[in-house]
Amino acid sequence: MSVVERARRVLPGGNTRTTLFVPPHPPYAVRGEGAIVTDHTGHRVIDCNNNYTSLIHGHARPEVLEAAFEAARSGTAFGLPTASEVALAEHVRDRTGIEQWRFCNSGTEAVLMLLRAARAYTGRELIVRFEGSYHGTGDAVVSPGAPGVVPGSVLVLPQNDLPALRAAMRDHGDRVAAVLIDLMPNRAGLTPADPAYVAELDALTRQHGALLAVDEVITFRLHEGGLHQRYGIRPDLVSVGKVIGGGFPVGAVGGRAEVLSPFDPQTPDGVSWGGTFSANPVTMSAGLTALRLFGPAEIAELNRRGDELRSRLRDAGVAVRGSGSLLRLMAADTTKLWWSLYERGVLAGTNGLLALSTAMTPAHLDHIADAVIATLRSGSAEHR
């Protein structure tokens, strides 16, 4: 029996992660090495998915693996804290200027923790977020009408619509715990937020005593301290994940000590939040090593390569969006696009997302450009 048939017997639809499903079923990965993934048929592809943007150095970067092995040899998880969580927190504090951090196992969990912190700190309930942005799978951040969802007190606004934001803050501002924004939402097409809009959002949250929360789970890779630093804002809370775990499960919320104080176990009536595997030393050590290898020079170089690839694609008539090392191909039929690229040796996100890694060489980037151009010229994915 094939692995696909076996999967369909024991997993609903043969699937664990909706985000990587492509009909009739995706191939199975068997090996990752640098920029290359080999699937169960022996087909080799350049990895532009990078586990949905998280593998900033591609697969099996020796220094990151060595850090993970070294940590694992001394124990993979403990019922005690380890110094590795302190070291990673110090590193992200120094990168961002954001005072305190609390780790968890995914971006979804980071956003849940961020919302809990915002509500606990302000004593308010209402969360404002934006249409089309993905913040993981918590009830408060998915489509309010979706099956099984109990959304709670959440207001969803169109992003970049200033009159709608002003009206919402005028009518509800004093009930808003936090406004949660992704400054370049992938699901919404990877279009960077308008700086004038973000400046007004910043001012309005302050005026109404609401917290400004930036979801940097994807965008942290674009700037040493996260994309918000390009906007010159100082969010009260940020959620991060993906690249900070060096390829292992991770999430974190960062903020001022005062705002995160509800998590202090000695705070009376504080927030009780555990997590059996949160801040495990394997993730913390791999993450710290991956981030140390991704400083300002590496970030700038990867962003430059992304900008160059985007220009090259645009010059060839491809509809492409994004910024720096994150690109999004805009196609009417993303399934056709995905398969067509895959057959040409490129693994994309199922929505047309391309995330570059430091493991890619100029030859890989040439191959990616040629594959995208050939795919769109072949008509297997019309522009949207």
- 182 forms part of the interface with ligand PLP (CB under 6 A): yes
Smallest distance from the beta carbon of 182 to ligand PLP, in angstroms?
A: 5
Nearer CB in complex with ligand PLP: 218/359: 218
Give how far the C-alpha of residue 366 lies from the chain's centroid of Cα atoms, to the nearest Å: 26
Of the candidate residues 49, 84, 108, 323, the single one contacting ligand PLP (CB under 6 A): 108
As a whole number of angstroms, the distance between CA 117 and CA 111 comes to 10
Which residues between 228 and 267 bind ligand PLP (CB under 6 A)? 241, 251
Here's the x/- map for ligand PLP, 125-164, by CB under 6 A: it reads as ---------xxx----------------------------
Supply the DSSP symbol for 361.
-
Q: Which two tokens stand for residue 82?
A: 């380890």
CA distances from 269 to 101, 104, 132, 221, 276 (A): 20, 21, 35, 36, 22
Number of CB atoms found within 10 A of residue 280's CB: 24
Nearest residue (beta carbon) to ligand PLP = 107
- Mask of contacts with ligand PLP, 49-88, x by CB under 6 A? ---x------------------------------------
Q: Is 242 a catalytic residue?
A: yes
Distance, CA of 78 to CA of 117 (rounded, Å):
25
Q: Is residue 107 part of the contact set for ligand PLP (CB under 6 A)? A: yes
Residue 381 Cβ, how far from ligand PLP at the closest point, in Å?
Answer: 22
Residues 260 and 96: their CA atoms lie apart, in Å, by 16
Residue closer to ligand PLP (CB basis): 107 or 247: 107
Told to check if 192 binds ligand PLP by CB under 6 A, we report no
Catalytic-residue membership of 315: no
Nearer to ligand PLP, 240 or 271 (CB): 240
Residue type at position 19? T
DSSP assignment string, 243-286: GGGTTS--EEEEE-HHHHGGGSTTSTT------TTTT-HHHHHH
| β-sheet bridge partners, residue 251 | 104, 241
Separation in Å, CA 277 to CA 85, 265, 283: 12, 18, 9
- The residues annotated as belonging to the active site are 134, 215, 242
**Residue numbers at the binding site for ligand PLP (CB under 6 A):** 52, 106-108, 111, 134-136, 182, 186, 215, 217-218, 241, 251
